[in-house]
Amino acid sequence: MFPRETIQAGPVTLRPPVEADIPAVVRACSDPLTQRFITTLPSPYTAEHAHIWLTEVAEARWGAGGAEFVVADPGTGELNGMLGLHLPDRFGNVEVGYWVAPWARDKGVATAALRALATWAFEHGVPRLHLVAEMENVGSQKVALAAGFRHEGLRRGAGPLPGGGRADMAMFGRLPGDSGEPIRPFLPFLPPGGLTDGVVTLTMLTGDDAPAYQAVASLPDVVKYRVPPEAPPFEETLYRCAGAGYRWLVGVQAEMAIRDAVTGAFAGDIQLSHLTPPMREAMVGYSLHSDFRGRGLVTRAVELLAEWAFTQTSMRRLISGTNPGNLASQAVLERAGFTRGQTVKEYLPGPDGTWTDNVEWLRLR
Ligand SMILES: CC(C)(COP(=O)(O)OP(=O)(O)OC[C@H]1O[C@@H](n2cnc3c(N)ncnc32)[C@H](O)[C@@H]1OP(=O)(O)O)[C@@H](O)C(=O)NCCC(=O)NCCS
């Protein structure tokens, strides 16, 4: 059983909840983002729900070996969030859950509170802490890494979605022996507004890009050079676009929209895949809608991306590959400063079960 005590941790104080917290709990739990990602909250959330949570749920949790803390402002004691330890599972593993009130977000509150709670939990003998955040909850995933929790994978269909259905949940874990230092992603996010040269702008893909991405990915001459050479089902495209932030953060793939810098229209996509941190290498791939071709937009996109990768990240090798027959793509890479390498035999899946050679390309930092 954990002691019901107050933890002073610099910019945050963790304390057991009290009756006076109820109005703030109602306001915070009525917030759309809280409702979106804490899918077990009643909606609408009323003072009665907060009262039951305080007098029954939180009490039961403390009584049964869990913990429920208010994250409070150290000066005023006002509620800024909530942070709890669920009951240990049969192997003693403990799950952490939290939310921060809308008025206290983006100030490091969740990160500071989670770090403090992890230290305290390990001091009280917890052998392992983990948290699960929905694939689309990139803010929470950033908190996990910043608090020294390591990404451990994606649990498919592991959580409920509001309104029905199931969501994939990203798993993060921390052990007592871990340093607890913030875990820095291999690739930082793009600056606000993306990368631009005034003609094209690159922005991280989001779920809103899915219809336009699908239109590009379904063009016959794009399908021909896709791996595998098939148009994706729309469900797959939606999943790809909506999960781009997660995959970027955890170092799987960095996927961007190529936009017309003036109108913001989606012109195509460009991505860094096969991220290989020890070699500081990534593979560039792209496709452009036929309506936007012939204006040098992809070359600009590759140049922008290479410039960012070589100045703002630790990347030192950008590689690419083209079908030997894809002369347009080869011209893009040449203009963007890539050097043609060897041709690898039967590397790419072609149509009808055939295999196609691949021309390798390299640009060094
Ligand atoms: C997730 C949540 C707890 C974060 O609280 P917070 O106090 O704002 O977190 P922090 O300030 O410590 O860190 C959040 C980081 O995520 C970033 N962030 C927030 N939303 C983001 C988004 N949609 N995409 C990318 N980054 C985002 C912030 O800019 C900040 O990054 P920075 O430190 O590089 O500036 C809060 O947004 C929240 O309560 N959300 C709703 C409930 C919830 O999701 N709970 C967690 C369930 S697993």
Among 35, 132, 143, 189, say which to mutate for ligand 1: greatest number of ligand atoms within 8 Å of CB: 143
108 Cβ closer than 6 Å to some ligand 1 atom: yes
80 Cβ closer than 6 Å to some ligand 1 atom: no
Task: Report how far ligand 1's centroid is from the alpha carbon of 78 (Å).
Answer: 20
Q: b or e along 204-227 (b: 16 or more beta carbons within 10 Å of the residue's beta carbon)? A: bbeeebbebbbebbebeebbebbe
Q: Which token pair is 10?
A: 């610099």
Task: Report how far ligand 1's centroid is from the alpha carbon of 107 (Å).
Answer: 9
What's the pLDDT at 162? 87
Work out the pLDDT band at 2, boundaries 50, 70, 90: very high
* pLDDT of 117 above 90: yes
What's the pLDDT at 351? 85
Among 138, 140, 172, say which to mutate for ligand 1: greatest number of ligand atoms within 8 Å of CB: 140
| HEC sequence for 287-331 | EECHHHCCCCHHHHHHHHHHHHHHHHCCCCEEEEEECCCCHHHHH
Is the bond preceding residue 44 a cis peptide, omega within 30 degrees? yes
Q: Which token pair is 182?
A: 């913030």
Atom 15 (ligand 1): residue with closest C-alpha?
Answer: 139
What's the pLDDT at 332? 97
Task: Report how far ligand 1's centroid is from the alpha carbon of 42 (Å).
Answer: 22
Q: Which pTM does this prediction carry?
A: 0.95
139 Cβ closer than 6 Å to some ligand 1 atom: yes
Q: Which residue has the tokens 């509001």?
A: 162
- 86-113: per-residue pLDDT in tens? 999 999 999 999 999 999 999 999 999 9
* pLDDT of 319 above 90: yes
Among 12, 99, 109, 249, say which to mutate for ligand 1: greatest number of ligand atoms within 8 Å of CB: 99
- 141-194: per-residue pLDDT in tens? 999 999 999 999 999 999 999 889 999 999 999 999 999 999 999 999 999 999
Whole-number average pLDDT of the chain:
97
- 7-35: per-residue pLDDT in tens? 999 999 999 999 999 999 999 999 999 99
Q: To which H or E segment does residue 356 belong?
A: strand 355-364
What's the pLDDT at 298? 98
Q: Count Cβ atoms within 10 A of the Cβ of residue 308 and give its class: 0-12 exposed, 13-18 middle, 19 or more buried.
A: buried
CA–CA distance, 141 with 118 (Å, rounded to integer): 16
Work out the pLDDT band at 202, boundaries 50, 70, 90: very high
Q: Which domains are assigned to the chain?
A: 7-174 (3.40.630.30), 195-364 (3.40.630.30)
* pLDDT of 114 above 90: yes
Atom of ligand 1 nearest to the CA of 111: 12
102 Cβ closer than 6 Å to some ligand 1 atom: no
In percent, the amount of the chain with pLDDT more than 70 equals: 100
Q: Which residue has the tokens 């995933």?
A: 141
Atom 45 (ligand 1): residue with closest C-alpha?
Answer: 99
Which of 162-166, 286-290, 342-346 is least confident? 162-166
Pairing state of beta strands 79-85 and 195-196? Answer: unpaired
Task: Report how far ligand 1's centroid is from the alpha carbon of 139 (Å).
Answer: 3
| 183 secondary structure, DSSP code | P
